């Protein structure tokens, strides 16, 4: 599954560590999400959507 995490994070000038802190996950998790090596669970996807104040479908895209 594709996602816009890296772009959205860059727009806000956040580091991976900043985003990881807001999501209460490790920096490695953010890196794995951004590089498409890991697809989040639905609860984590909702947390990500809350952090960016956007609907999930505008962050995560179908392949």
Q: Which residues bind other proteins (CB under 8 A)?
A: 24-26, 28-29, 31-33, 35, 37-38, 40-41, 44
Contact between residue 5 and residue 33 where contact means Cβ atoms under 8 Å apart: yes
Nearer to other proteins, 4 or 27 (CB): 27
Query: Closest separation between CB of residue 16 and other proteins, Å?
Result: 12
Quote the tokens at residue 17: 């560590």
Contact between residue 27 and residue 17 where contact means Cβ atoms under 8 Å apart: yes
Query: Closest separation between CB of residue 61 and other proteins, Å?
Result: 20
């Amino acid at each position: 599954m594709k996602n816009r995490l890296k772009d959205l994070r860059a727009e806000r000038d956040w580091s991976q560590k900043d985003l990881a802190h807001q999501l209460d996950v490790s920096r490695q998790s953010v890196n794995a999400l951004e590089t498409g090596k890991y697809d989040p669970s639905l609860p984590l996807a909702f947390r990500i959507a809350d952090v960016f104040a956007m609907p999930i479908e505008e962050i995560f895209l179908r392949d």
